[in-house]
Amino acid sequence: MAVLKNVELWFIKANPKRPNAKFNKANPTWEAQIRTTSKEVKKEWEALKLGVKAIVPDGENEKTYFRVNLRKKTIKESGEPASPVSVINGAMKDIDPDSIGNGSIGNVRIFQYEYKKESGGTGTANVLMGIQVTKHIVYVPKAHSDDFSAEDDEVIQPEAADGVDDGARY
């Protein structure tokens, strides 16, 4: 297993009870995105055969960064349930994965294995196994500015013409 040190953590979905089912409802995944702005770290990730993507922002004050999306399926190939991704702090204590805000810093443990591609040849699969948060930016959900608020309402019932109910309501 490899440990990726001092990575930026983004979009953590590691709650054991709520994996991400957006892309695969039959086998949801626990996920994390790791980021760096260092070209040296990017080269290390590429040497580990991670799927590194460069993101070039269009804003003036933003820097180019490199990201890798890591996942772990909730159901193994054998059909057995997989163990959830472990999420701990620097003191090795469990923490709530839903409390990890974007930009937190930590270490990520991955499992890698070779697989055969359908088109021939082999590839390297990367499986998210654990997250250790060393700089915890706590995520606090904010109320949406466009949420509903209590308002007065009015209900108007249609009246039948000349006392005849023709069944029309709209």
Question: Which parts of the chain are beta strand (E)?
Answer: 2-13, 29-36, 53-55, 65-73, 86-89, 104-116, 122-135
Torsion-angle region of residue 148: left (phi > 0), alpha (psi -120 to 50) or beta?
Answer: beta
Pair 128, 20: CB distance under 8 Å: no
Q: What token pair was written down for 106?
A: 């930590």
Q: How confident is the model at residue 11 (pLDDT cuts 50, 70, 90)?
A: very high
What is the percent of the chain with per-residue pLDDT over 70, rounded to a whole number? 91
Percent of the chain exceeding pLDDT 90 equals: 61
Position 26 pLDDT exceeds 80: yes
Give the lowest-confidence range in 54-58, 65-69, 146-150.
Answer: 146-150
**The pTM of the whole model exceeds 0.75:** yes
pLDDT at 168: 56
Please tell me the predicted confidence (pLDDT) of residue 59.
74
Domain spanning 2-135, CATH architecture: Beta Barrel (2.40)
- Residue 101: pLDDT over 70: yes
How many CB atoms lie under 10 A from the CB of residue 27?
A: 13
pLDDT band at 117 (very low <50, low <70, confident <90, very high): confident
Residue with the bigger pLDDT between 84 and 147: it is 84
> What's the pLDDT score for residue 162?
59
- Helical (H) or strand (E) element with 149: none
What pLDDT is stored for residue 170 in this prediction? 52
Question: Is there a contact between 11 and 22 (Cβ–Cβ < 8 Å)?
Answer: no
